[in-house]
């Protein structure tokens, strides 16, 4: 831990030296929520988000906060260790070509609905999951699609002398619609009931856990978490098939899959609380996690140390040091391409618009890892070889 702020209703514990002013203001808002429990934890990769900083961990009692989970519900990482020790660049290029032709990227979806069996069982869809029900047909076209932004498929060289495959993606438009619906509902209910106990501009409207709306949000959120996991699984299956076709590899170990946008009921400091992890990875003692770097920098397979002060959490990545538009305006295209070429990474930066995902837009992953050595231990360091982005 780097800093503790004790000026608010409950303490703020930070695992980074400097936090941008807007993100710090958001963290202070969290610490003054009536439902906030014990303290607020801010991870080493934190930066500004909607309502709550990305890289924030908030425990609550009596209420759940949709913007404490975020719009990409269940977003996370999936990693698979292969039996390969190396893949030459010419073969990597062919693999990337086939991946682009197979996995829909950005806003693209499958042209035809995918089999229902690929999606989590929705149960009594109309009754229990009304927003999911309205989006279910669209979700069948989105299962196995990457999305845009910081989502990626990456082939990596591990410090264990093995090739690793990694996918970063979430619940696509399904999670976005669920998040938006329930944040708007929470805002309307607070206004209608005269319960505007937090300023609207904080963007932290809550749903009471004892209410029908609160319970419905939890069901829909949990379905989105399961959908996001299934989405990554479907993409990883395609990645493994393509890698096997090009390399003859027949050994793929069991996948490691972790989410970093969700709320879960857990016990901390002898109380049952709802832990909101928004851009944060669970790090219970002995539990494996994945911390990706930026495009072109190392990623890490880590093992949690179960640190209670972080609510047994760690960072979800490197974290942005500048916004997407700022990166496009400020960063030098040729310099960023040069950084990746110097590391012999097959990358996805071609135009100025791609600079939003350039290495220069992100924090130093080495510093991020160093600042959370009390939360995790590094198991495998992964060097990027080839990157596919949306």
Phi and psi for 141 in degrees, rounded to 5?
-90, -15
pLDDT of residue 128: 83
| Residue 333 in domain | no
Asked if residue 118 belongs to a domain, the reply is yes
Nearest to 303 by CA among 279, 287, 291, 292: 287
- For the question of whether the overall pTM of this predicted structure is more than 0.85, the answer is yes
Compute CA distances 182 → 54, 261, 274, whole Å.
19, 15, 17
Query: Would residue 79 count as lying in a domain?
Result: yes
- Domain total for the chain? 1
pLDDT-based confidence at residue 122 (cuts at 50, 70, 90) = confident
Q: Is residue 350 in a domain? A: no
Tokens standing for 326? 């700022």
Q: Does residue 341 form part of some domain?
A: no
What pLDDT digit, counting tens, does each position of 10-61 carry?
999 999 999 999 999 999 999 999 999 999 999 999 999 999 999 999 999 9
Angle at 84 between CA 82 and CA 85, to 5 degrees: 125
Residue 308, C-beta contacts closer than 8 angstroms, at least 6 positions apart:
268, 269
Look at residue 308 and tell me if it is in a domain. Answer: yes
For residue 295, name the pLDDT band (cuts at 50, 70, 90).
Answer: confident
Q: What is the pLDDT of residues 204-218, one digit of tens each?
A: 999 999 999 999 999
CA distance 19 to 32: 18
At 223, which helix (H) or strand (E)? helix 212-247
Question: In 45-118, which residue ranges form alpha helices assigned H by DSSP?
Answer: 89-102
Long-range contacts of 329-334 (CB under 8 A, 24+ apart): 331/355, 331/358, 331/360, 331/361
Size (the chain), residues: 390
User: What's the start-to-end Cα distance of the chain, in Å?
Assistant: 34
DSSP label at 210? Answer: T
Instruction: Give Cα separations from 207 to 72, 124, 226, 280 (angstroms).
Output: 18, 22, 21, 22
Q: Where does the pLDDT of residue 196 fall: very low under 50, low under 70, confident under 90, or very high at 90 and above?
A: low
Q: What value, to the nearest 5°, has the Cα angle with vertex 28 and ends 371 and 69?
A: 75
pLDDT classification of 296: cutoffs 50, 70, 90: confident
Q: How far apart are CA 381 and CA 255, in angstroms?
A: 17
- Diameter of the chain by CA atoms? 64
Residues serving a catalytic function are: 316
User: Per DSSP, what are the bridge partners of residue 148?
Assistant: none
> What is the DSSP code string of 25-46?
HHHHHHHT-TTEEEEEEEEEEE
Q: Is residue 87 part of a domain?
A: yes
Domain housing 158? 3-321+362-389
Cα–Cα distance between 125 and 138 in angstroms, integer?
14
The SS3 assignment for 101 reads helix
Q: What average pLDDT does this structure show over 374-381?
A: 98
What pLDDT, in 10s, does the model give residues 130-146?
999 999 999 999 999 99
357 in any annotated domain? no
Collapsed DSSP state (helix, strand, coil) of residue 57: strand
Burial label, 79 (beta-carbon count in 10 A; 0-12, 13-18, 19+): buried
Question: How confident is residue 255, by pLDDT bands cut at 50, 70 and 90?
Answer: very high
Strand runs labelled E in the chain: 3-5, 12-14, 36-47, 54-60, 63-64, 76-81, 152-158, 163-169, 207-208, 256-259, 261-268, 271-278, 280-282, 288-291, 299-304, 313-315, 376-389
Question: What is the per-residue pLDDT for 258?
Answer: 98
User: Residue 218's domain is classified under what CATH number?
Assistant: 3.90.1860.10
**What percent of the chain is modeled with pLDDT above 70?**
98
Rg (CA), the chain: 20
User: Read out DSSP for 184-203?
Assistant: HHHHHHHHHTT---S-GGG-
């Amino acid at each position: 831990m780097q800093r503790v702020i004790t000026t608010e209703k409950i303490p703020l514990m930070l695992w980074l030296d400097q936090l941008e002013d807007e993100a710090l203001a958001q963290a202070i808002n969290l610490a003054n929520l009536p439902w906030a429990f014990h303290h607020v934890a801010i991870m080493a990769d934190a930066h500004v988000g909607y309502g709550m900083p990305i890289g924030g961990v908030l425990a609550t009692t009596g209420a759940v906060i949709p913007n404490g989970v975020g719009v990409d519900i269940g977003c996370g990482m999936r990693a698979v260790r292969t039996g390969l020790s190396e893949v030459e660049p010419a073969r990597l290029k062919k693999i990337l070509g086939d991946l682009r032709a197979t996995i829909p990227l950005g806003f693209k979806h499958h042209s035809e609905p995918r089999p229902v069996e690929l999606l989590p069982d929705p149960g009594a869809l109309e009754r229990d999951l009304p927003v999911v029900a309205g989006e279910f047909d669209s979700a069948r076209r989105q299962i196995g699609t990457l999305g845009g932004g910081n989502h990626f498929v990456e082939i990596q060289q591990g410090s264990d002398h093995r090739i690793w495959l990694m996918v970063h993606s979430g619940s696509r438009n399904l999670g976005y619609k669920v998040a938006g619906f329930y944040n708007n509902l929470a805002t309307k209910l607070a206004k209608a009931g005269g319960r505007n106990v937090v300023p609207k501009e904080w963007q932290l409207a809550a749903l009471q856990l004892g209410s029908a709306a609160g319970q419905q949000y939890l069901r829909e959120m949990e379905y989105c978490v399961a959908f996001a996991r299934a989405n990554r699984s479907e993409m990883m299956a395609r990645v493994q098939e393509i890698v096997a076709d090009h390399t003859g590899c027949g050994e793929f170990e069991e996948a490691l899959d972790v989410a970093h946008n969700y709320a879960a009921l857990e016990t901390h400091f002898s109380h049952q609380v709802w832990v909101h992890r928004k851009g944060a990875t669970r790090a219970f003692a002995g539990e494996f996690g994945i911390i990706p770097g930026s495009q072109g920098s190392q990623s890490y397979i880590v093992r949690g140390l179960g640190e209670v002060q972080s609510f047994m959490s760690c960072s979800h990545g490197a974290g942005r040091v500048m916004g997407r538009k700022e990166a496009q305006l400020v960063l030098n295209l040729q310099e960023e391409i040069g950084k990746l070429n110097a590391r012999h990474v097959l990358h996805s930066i071609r135009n100025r618009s791609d600079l939003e995902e350039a290495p220069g837009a992100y924090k130093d992953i080495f510093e991020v890892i160093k600042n959370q050595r009390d939360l995790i231990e590094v198991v495998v360091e992964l060097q990027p070889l080839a990157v596919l982005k949306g």
